[in-house]
Amino acid sequence: MNLPRRYAIGTFGLTAIGTLLLPLANPLKRIAQTNLSAKSAIEPRRLQIGDTVALINPAAFNYEKEVQPFFKVLDNLGLKVKLGEHFYDRYGYLAGKDADRAADVNTAFADDEVQAIFTGMGGWGCNRILPLLDYNIIRNNPKIIIGFSDITALLLAIYAKTNIVTFHGPLGVSSWSPFTVNYLKKVLFDGGPVTLQNSQSVPFQTIGRGTARGKLIGGNLSVIAAMVGSAYLPEWEKSILFVEEVGEEVYRIDRMLTQLKLAGILDRISGFIFGQCTKCDAEKPQESLTLAQVLSDHIRPLKIPAWYGSMVGHIREQFTLPIGKEVEIDANSGTIKLS
């Protein structure tokens, strides 16, 4: 099956841009502090062995064989699974009609037997169901919901409308490497302080040195750009913005970051993390800016702590990140600290 851009799981080396980004770092250490919102985010209950989780498909459809290995992952985590009624539905490239996909989200939050919600696939489709979600039901039943790629729209909208912390992390069709499982367990099961740091084999590159604190907000760059101007994005003031992308040429990354700049988002953030940009090579490199140049153009003038290469995105090994939770980042070491 040939998968559209935001379905792909892959890896991307940083060597080509590394030497360009290092000189861009601000030589002076900066410390940016956030003004905490008067309204504290709502953190859902952590997972426990024996819990029941819902598995839904709010975006694109997946073939049954693609998600079958995930049931073994859930079993190994000591979790029981409850499939959404429309999980295997198909409506073109979508996992069923909008109303049915939205119903599975609403039902999962309303179900007292369900302690968390996992999503099977990304692709496209979450933006279509945002007006159909019952945010009162969701607000009154705070639960973990996790995914990435197109699921970004769902995670950001739920946080924006209910103040419930959501989680950017693996999909049912992800590879579920030991690294991925380990960080998911630390964040969703164990709780408590944890430092997210790349494995030694995955380098990062500092854009702006220093540390910053703020609410962590972000996800897939093109999905966020597509939501600009809607009522489903959270407040960005003094936040830490993280983004990732797949299958987009450098000029498109430039265009989307420009959109965030023109919308006033970049000017309001306290820190910036660009995860992995998988399969983002320019078709004609000799006629293109590099990704390093684009990031320098947009991010360096902000004079905030920032780096490229965090283990976030369409990659085999990835972090689980809490959207809406206050974190501390260190662009010198490329770390994200959760308290």
Cα–Cα distance measured from residue 132 to residue 129, given in angstroms and rounded to the nearest whole number: 5
Predicted local confidence at residue 2, as pLDDT: 40
Predicted local confidence at residue 99, as pLDDT: 98
In sequence order, what E strands does 74-182 have? 80-83, 114-119, 144-147, 166-168
Three-state SS string over 293-311 comes to HHHHHHHHHHCCCEEECCC
Superfamily of domain 52-190 in CATH is Murein tetrapeptidase LD-carboxypeptidase, N-terminal domain (3.40.50.10740)
Does residue 168 have an active-site annotation?
no
Cα–Cα distance measured from residue 124 to residue 126, given in angstroms and rounded to the nearest whole number: 6
Mean pLDDT of 236-261: 97
Contacts of 149 (CB under 8 A, 6+ apart): 6, 7, 59, 122, 123, 171, 220, 223, 246, 314
Token reading at 100: 């049915």
- Of 86, 168, 239, 244, the catalytic one is 244
Token reading at 327: 């974190």
CA atoms within 13 A on the CB side of 292: 16
CA proximity to 135, closest of 52, 217, 231, 45: 231
State the pLDDT confidence band at 7, using cuts at 50, 70 and 90: very low
Please count the residues of the chain: 339
Token reading at 220: 């897939």
State the pLDDT confidence band at 15, using cuts at 50, 70 and 90: very low
Q: What is the largest CA-CA distance in the chain?
A: 57
Are 82 and 21 in contact by the 8 Å Cβ rule? The answer is no
- Of 86, 168, 298, 314, the catalytic one is 314
Distances (CA, A) of 8 to 87, 147, 207, 226, 316: 20, 14, 27, 19, 10
Q: Is the pLDDT of residue 6 over 70?
A: no
Number of H helices, E strands in the chain: 10, 15
Backbone angles phi, psi at 122, to 5 degrees: -95, -120
State the pLDDT confidence band at 9, using cuts at 50, 70 and 90: very low
Does residue 314 have an active-site annotation?
yes
- Of 149, 222, 239, 310, the catalytic one is 149
Q: Is the pLDDT of residue 28 over 70?
A: no
State the pLDDT confidence band at 20, using cuts at 50, 70 and 90: very low
pLDDT tens per residue, range 326-337:
999 999 999 999
| Residue 142 neighbours by CB distance under 10 Å | 18
pLDDT tens per residue, range 67-81:
999 999 999 999 999
pTM: 0.90
pLDDT tens per residue, range 217-227:
999 999 999 99
Domain residue ranges of the chain, discontinuous segments joined by +: 5-34+193-338, 52-190
Cα–Cα distance measured from residue 60 to residue 190, given in angstroms and rounded to the nearest whole number: 31
Does residue 244 have an active-site annotation?
yes
Predicted local confidence at residue 192, as pLDDT: 83
Contacts of 44 (CB under 8 A, 6+ apart): 116, 142, 143, 144, 164, 165
Strand 271-278 versus strand 306-308 pairing type: parallel
In which residue are the tokens 């000591």 written?
78
As a CATH number, domain 5-34+193-338 is 3.50.30.60
